[in-house]
Amino acid sequence: MTIAVIVNCIVIAIVVLVHYEALRHLFTWIPRLPIARRLRVVVAVFGALVAHALEVWIFAGAFYWYINTDGLGVLVGNFSGTFLDCVYFSFTNYTSLGYGDIEPLGHIRFLAGLEGLVGLVMIGWTASFIYVEMTRFWREPDNN
């Protein structure tokens, strides 16, 4: 159980740092783009989606490690044990979509629950970032 808690904390720390750095770079990079302001919002959304996808893959790597380490848990149901199945499971957890076709058993359940919570926080963080970007670009008139 101790190893599961340590791994979970490390994964969450990495995901939060990835998200922070992605939004920080977008915030400083986007205003320098030589494009219309309304298109900058599109770039912000696309950049945030790329960050979310990377975070999902980080969680998927942790799930894959869990299922290949004895005693930490398994994923059962419509699951063949591949890394891409872990990515699919991770996407459904991160977004709290939860189709229910794959079920975590053992210590891996803790990470699955945490991913849903982290995904909710990261999506909320992104929503506030996009709002700030939109208000920043809509303050001044744009002829484009």
35 near 141, Cβ under 8 Å? no
Tens-digit pLDDT profile for residues 23-75 = 999 999 988 999 988 888 899 999 999 999 999 999 999 999 999 999 999 99
Give all strands (DSSP E) within 1-144, no chain letters. 74-77, 102-105
Q: Residues 34, 37, 43, 44: is their CA dihedral positive or negative?
A: positive
Rounded mean pLDDT of the chain?
Answer: 93
The tally of CA atoms less than 13 A away on the side-chain side of residue 25 is 11
CATH domain 2-138 topology: Helix Hairpins (1.10.287)
- Residue 70: phi and psi, rounded to 5, are -60, 135
Whether the per-residue pLDDT at 141 is higher than 70: the answer is: no
Tokens of 90: 């991770």
Res 140: pLDDT: 59
84-98 mean pLDDT = 96
Res 128: pLDDT: 95
Res 135: pLDDT: 84
